[in-house]
Amino acid sequence: MKRLMTIFLMIILLSLFYMYNPFSQEMKVNAKDSKVNYKKLTPEEQQVIIHKGTEAPWTGKYVNFKATGTFTCKQCNAPLYLSQDKFDSQCGWPSFDDEVPSAIKRQVDADGRRTEILCANCGAHLGHVFSGEGFTAKNIRHCVNSISLNFVPADNKTNSETAYFAGGCFWGTEHYLNKTKGVITTTVGYMGGDVENPTYKQVCAGNTGHIETVQVEFDPAIISFEELAKLFFEIHDPTQTNGQGPDIGEQYLSVIFYSNDEQKAVSEKLIKILQGKGYRVATTLIKADKFWDAEDYHQDYYEHKGTQPYCHFYTKRF
């Protein structure tokens, strides 16, 4: 009996030690805090990052992405890959032949055959890694879902500038602008509304005030804003007042969201030139505000689909 009482007292003392031990409490706090900065994921992001799904090939934002910088984890923002290690494998997903040191965790996939790759910091599912394919000298291919990634531009891109053009369905506008020499990267999204982080469905319903917009990052040493704006006026109908082609609605209006007074002045000059040629220009000029990226499947839409725009055509006007 005495022995049982001794064991019982020891259990109580150990329990009290764990409850009030500062080190134990610190571990609990840190474990809780470690998730505070995790991004709140959309259902689509959860399907891949948490539930280990796979996005459809050629639909991801970063498949044909060529900007210089660092790819980070969508969930925790930990650096994962450098753009210099990205290569075109024609597999339909972003491919890398190297990783940021200690950034990637490998484990046997649930299928028992492939090797799954995860963010070493938070465990987010990224994709799979393959070897022996001969794509590059390193003979490694990290096949990664775009939806698992974010991108941080390199600091040495301080000479780039950004422009925002809205000319109907952003698929067609991006298709032409992205092919232009001097354009570093394009992103389709939404601007001008009053709802935070709107979805495509919300914008199409016409009750958020957003307009389908293309964000263009360009090198002014190669192409000027004026040259881009001229192209913008030539790849859509700037005289249509209610949309673009068969796409009718406020989300399809013609707008230049200017980033500074210089862009505004250039846009005003070009509109006056067109008006002098007899065009009744409907394009409006609005100060750029918060730009919200559209869903991944909208990015580089026609390049992934392999077709041509249905309501955007090039017409020389200058």
Residue 230: Cβ within 10 Å count: 18
Measured in residues, the chain has a length of 318
Residue for token pair 């040191």: 101
CA distance 160 to 163: 10
From the candidates 119, 122, 169, 311, give the one annotated as an active-site residue.
169
The alpha carbon of 156 is separated from its chain's Cα centroid by a whole number of angstroms, namely 20
**Structural Rg of the chain based on CA atoms:** 25
CA distance 216 to 235: 15
Cβ contact 152:137 at 8 Å: no
- Which H helix or E strand runs over 95? strand 95-96
Spell out the alpha helix ranges (H) of the chain. 2-20, 22-33, 43-49, 170-177, 200-204, 225-234, 261-276, 301-305
- The HSE-up count of residue 41 (CA atoms within 13 Å, CB side) is 22
From the candidates 73, 119, 122, 143, give the one annotated as an active-site residue.
143
Cβ contact 274:280 at 8 Å: no
Residue 309: Cβ within 10 Å count: 19
Q: What are phi and psi of 157, to 5 degrees?
A: -100, 30
Q: Is 143 assigned a catalytic role?
A: yes
Provide the annotated active-site residues. 143, 169
